[in-house]
Structure 1
């Protein structure tokens, strides 16, 4: 797998970790916050080992990914690994005086599968451009989660 930098964005939310946790672990609702997510299909309750099928979109391009929940520490850490590229997407929750600091990460502990990098170059405008889209999407996702949690 190819090495590539991890990404992270954070936001402070005026809501308790329990409220934020309920949102970030609601995988079927994730598409309402993520600008790239279209829909997520999950069987049963979300927990460690839960598998999901995700439909993603960037402009006119649509593609599926498969994920598995790899970390599930209530009110603290939630993460799922994308089978198709090796990336882990996570949400870390940390209590603050005013509520919760949420850190959204794209983790690449084993790099990114070369096929995924080639597809980013060939179809998604290049790795740098696509990475920029992901970072912007992370900020939008956090902003939408914040608005929902505080609303």
Structure 2
């Protein structure tokens, strides 16, 4: 079960919204924390098994994470798992549901950090639950704004 879930209606087709979300190198356009994503290991798109590096920032603190796409179904679902070295950090998942007026986008975050790591990490980077709640809201708003500007 995810730790956070937020939903937003978007007046744009599901395939178009999925294509924006799945263009992971553009994640920095939507997310207030992820500055950019770079593919690794020859990956060029969000396909199951594709790996990437996330370049992140919270205030003056910067760090990189490793990611792997675990589900990619165009127009419907994208999920990826994030690690910091060998340590699991999070699972991010997007569900895109077509509606009569476009689609509904659901973004979920599941905290996968080990219990011993959560307190010191939250002290260094800020309380993850609070930070991600704001971040998800901002990400979805940015995604909505971009998707609704594009021709359907």
**Shorter-chain TM-score range:** 0.7 to 0.9
In structure 1, the partner of 2:51 is 51
Change (3 A) 1:15 1:31: same
Is residue 141 of structure 1 aligned with residue 139 of structure 2? Answer: yes
Shift in Å at residue 112 of structure 1?
A: 2.3
- Taking the aligned partners of 2:89 and 2:114, their CA distance within structure 1 comes to 6
> Which has more strand, going by share of residues?
2
Q: TM-score if structure 1 supplies the norm length? A: 0.87
Q: What pairs with 1:109-148 in structure 2 (closer than 5 Å)? A: 111-114=112-115, 116-125=117-126, 129-148=127-146
Kindly indicate whether the alpha-carbon contact (under 8 Å) linking 2:4 and 2:109 is maintained by their aligned counterparts in 1: yes
Change (3 A) 1:113 1:22: same
Q: TM-score if structure 2 supplies the norm length? A: 0.87
Where structure 2 has 5 or more consecutive residues not aligned to the other structure, the ranges are none
> Aligned residues, how many?
143
- Taking the aligned partners of 1:121 and 1:86, their CA distance within structure 2 comes to 12
Is residue 100 of structure 1 aligned with residue 94 of structure 2? Answer: no
Runs of 4+ residues deviating >6 angstroms: none
Give RMSD over aligned pairs.
Answer: 1.7
In structure 1, the partner of 2:91 is 88
SS at match of 2:136: helix
Deviations 1:91-124 (A, max 9, x none): 100011111000000024xx42245414423312
